[in-house]
Chains A and B, each alone.
Chain A
Amino acid sequence: MAGDHIRPAQRVTFSREALRPWLRRLAFYVALLALWEILARAEIWPPYLFPSPLTVLSTLAVGVRKGVFITAALVSIKRLVIGYGISLVLGLTLGLLIGRIKALDETLGSLVLGLQALPSICWLPLALLWFGLNERAIIFVVVLGALFSITLGVEAGVKNTPPLYLKAARNLGARGPALYTQVVLPAALPAILSGLKQGWSFAWRSLMAGELLSATLSLGNLLQYGRDLNDAAQVMAVMVMIIIVGVSIDQAIFAPFERRVRERWGLR
């Protein structure tokens, strides 16, 4: 009976605790938008250069309703999936090989480390020369954007696999491919995950950079189009769209994956 009195009270304090950061966040964004609106209304800069948040929002709404933004986003996501997918396969293979074979580490490993220092957008001119301004050039840049981060993440994870796990696994009869798929890779998962996350964010950046030059409908191309029209509201609306897509991918794919790994490993 006593519990009946205590429990609701506890639940209220708990939810209030949980709500507080969200309330702060909400207040922050409301204040930010208000400041923006005030600055826009003051017309210090012409509206076509510094639109009000409401204008940006309505441009976003129109873009989404007419389907242009959605189509553009789908085109970008498709390129990202293809490019990142290729990086994933190549990066996992390369990382495993470099992590396990000393001769490859000394040769290919140093090359990967060097190429990682090169911002992936620097590949774009070369890609344009090789492939022309087309789909393949953009995907090429995306692949190279993610590849080295993923490779280095996998390599680090594989190199740091505690020898004890390998000993125990071999002792229990694990051999050949099973040793890799059931021990080396899972043991490396936390490091691989951080490589995958970094790789994805580099891929996303490279994609946007590549699309700025592209002529086909896509998010990056819409940005450039907005600039050509002298329409800052469209540029900002597309920027919001890019943030939404980026955050969604992060939350839908990487956040649950990360939570799972942390839970299993007992990392807080």
Chain B
Amino acid sequence: MSRVPRFLWLPAALAWLLVAVPIVGLVVRVDLSNFFSLVTSEAALSALWLSLKTGLATMVLCLLFGGPLAVVLARSQLPGLPFIRSVVLLPLVLPPVVGGLTLLFLLGRTGPIGGPLYDNFGITIPFSTTAVVLAQTFVAMPFLVVSLEGSLRTAGERYEAVAATLGASPLTTLRRVTIPVVLPGLVSGSVLAFARALGEFGATITFAGSLQGTTRTLPLLIYLQSQDDIDGAVAMSLVLVVIAIVVILVTRTRDVR
């Protein structure tokens, strides 16, 4: 307490209140008598289920593709590495709606990839659950890559070099040394990516639309309900807040250890 200059306390308190007060307001506003029926309505349950399902799928995709990308960024000596890294970070600063639009142009029925897919195989990606997962992966990927690359750099290559001198093949080294050593970063990165996917709105509504049971995730449902059924929207929001808090607690306690 003594280390903090006095004049910083007021802006610090305001910053904290800016985040905390709306959350408290949300909790106060919840219609408790109808809360249970509001969050268990058919529309709510289907949105919650879709959100969890697509969130998990997004997390798996981030791990399968973002994990190797993090290794490349941390370990390789590719020439254009700074450029490659800034492209990976782009979704962090880009409005998600723009991300959704780019995906739509690329994978839409007339797009450079979506066109041939439809013409040759009859596959349509936009406005499907697959589109939800792709949109979420687009915005969530950097969270996993950044977190994991940081862990890989901190761990360094020393353990991997030792493993090689002990006769471990690159695959064995990855499985028995690299992954266990960076596991905390891998877990927190995955959880963050999952949380980001749960909250995704802009890219999803642009690229996947809002069809109940197929593409209407929890944030989309909340937005829709906030137009006419504000009680339902508030109740659903509280569910998302609780999930977010749990996720933050899980990752933070891991980081501290």
Partners in one complex: no
Which B residues have a C-beta under 8 Å from some C-beta of A? none
